[in-house]
Structure 1
């Protein structure tokens, strides 16, 4: 297991913060993902994905991502409020571009929404990435996910024209790639 350097900047107070995920957080991360997908993403994700949810397998997958990431640049962060995991983000390097990283899921359980957890997670990801020399962050969003698109747009991200279609066993899921450039201000924090 790799140790993480301290965050250049942690936002929040004693009651709200972002920190690297710990193995014991895996069940909470799986819970946040399941709850968010079943509520906020019910109209976006195919029913087959939601109906075949395997909580134990998802928990094991997140535990593996935390304890044995493929590279030291693969990270899982959690947003915490009063010692409860309320959201998470995962980030990984882009294989063919040392100056780019890809944000995987960034999810905040809906009942904890509108409290700044998503923004704190995104800021922590940007800080970690910039500290590793990353100049560009990217993520894939379902084309019909207007809420996430609005969140990323308000944070200075934009769609870059790339699209992909995922086979889900049900209706195909079309995703658009969004990106942002980490400016010198972020890199110098």
Structure 2
């Protein structure tokens, strides 16, 4: 049996996280994200951004987690307090308790990716469970995640884990191409 688990990211994971992001985006989102946007993403620059997110997160409640199988890093998730932009729409009011621009009770899952060749092996579920654990440990009672409208696989995955679309969408401008997203949400109960 191969060891598969999730752990907090370390600075030396930045290159693997960047590789997973770039390979996943170029494979899974090639028809959604404009080619010009994908072409602009350099591995070194993306790795430097992830290294910074691990070493100097915006708050102590921001986390990057990696999924591993054996010696391979196969996926990752990034999450932290939601911003006002994450909480647009009905049913959400920011509960800012002295953290500046960050919401005190809502976690935003900004990224959860498993490299396509490692899919269907439980890594996404382990990452999502670890994100929920981190959320509870940090006092979050609910979470939101934005999924590309065209990314039915991510939507199905989150919905199968108890997340649900909350009726709010937004449109990203990616080099002049409008890319719609849908917000999914969940609440955390004591486990």
* TM-score for the superposition, normalised by structure 2: 0.87
User: Are 2:143 and 1:137 aligned?
Assistant: yes
Question: What's 1:152 paired with?
Answer: 158
Q: What does the per-residue CA deviation read over 1:153-186, in whole Å, with 9 as the maximum and x for residues that have no partner? A: 100101111111111113111111111111223x
Deviation of the 1:14 alpha carbon: 6.7
**Post-superposition CA distance 1:52-98 (Å, at most 9, x none):** 12111101000000000010011000000112110000001024331
Q: Is 1:18–2:6 an aligned residue pair?
A: yes
**How far apart, in 2, do the equivalents of 1:127 and 1:14 lie?**
23
- Residues 87-146 of structure 1: CA deviation (Å, up to 9, x unaligned): 000001024331110001100000100000000000000011011111101000111111
What is the rounded CA distance, in whole Å, between the counterparts of 2:11 and 2:64 in structure 1? Answer: 10
Correspondence for 2:17 among 29, 33, 43: 29
Query: How many corresponding residue pairs?
Result: 173
- TM-score, length of structure 1 as denominator length: 0.88
Q: After the TM superposition, list the runs of 4 or more consecutive aligned residues in structure 1 that deviate by more than 2 angstroms.
A: none
Q: Which stretches in structure 2 are left out of the alignment for 5+ residues?
A: 84-93, 95-102
Q: Which residue of 2 aligns with 1:72?
A: 60
Give the Cα–Cα distance (whole angstroms) in 2 for the partners of residues 48 and 178 of structure 1: 28
Q: Counterparts in 2 of 1:34-113, with a 5 A limit?
A: 34-95=22-83, 96=94, 97-113=103-119
Is 1:115 paired with 2:103?
A: no
Range that drifts further, 17-26 or 173-182: 173-182
- Correspondence for 1:4: none
Q: Unpaired segments of 5 or more residues in structure 1? A: 1-12
Please report the RMSD computed on the Cα atoms of aligned residues, expressed in angstroms.
Answer: 1.2
**The 10-residue stretch of structure 1 (76-85 or 93-102) with the greater mean CA deviation from structure 2:** 93-102
- Contact between 1:48 and 1:170, CA under 8 Å: does it hold in 2? no
